[in-house]
Amino acid sequence: MATTEKIIRKLRAEMMPPPGSRRPKGDTLTALAETLEQIMDAEPVNPGTRVFQRLNRAEYERAVRDLLNLQIDAGNW
């Protein structure tokens, strides 16, 4: 959240993008800042009861396969 607030401040002060860099045309930066502010001000979403879950071996193998396209035997780790 602190990072987003910093981004909004820099957008409003016309410090982003940095001087000398290409800038979007029109009021694109203003629209971006307003959108970020709306998202920040929105009511937080309830993440549910589980925010962290330890994976069992089968789930870990599937996650590695899906993310890295590797077949592993989680029992070896």
pLDDT in tens, 23-77: 888 889 999 999 999 988 887 777 677 667 889 999 999 999 999 999 999 988 7
User: Does residue 29 form part of some domain?
Assistant: yes
For helices 2-12 and 28-41, the axis angle rounded to 10 degrees is 150
User: Does residue 54 form part of some domain?
Assistant: no
Q: H helices of 1-77, where?
A: 2-12, 28-41, 57-68
What is the total count of domains within the chain?
Answer: 1
Residue, of 53 and 12, whose pLDDT is higher: 12
User: Does residue 20 form part of some domain?
Assistant: yes
User: Does residue 11 form part of some domain?
Assistant: yes
User: Does residue 75 form part of some domain?
Assistant: no
Q: Which pLDDT belongs to residue 43?
A: 72
Question: What six digits make up the tokens of 21?
Answer: 């860099």
Q: Which pLDDT belongs to residue 36?
A: 92
User: Does residue 15 form part of some domain?
Assistant: yes
Whole domain around residue 17: which residue ranges? 2-41
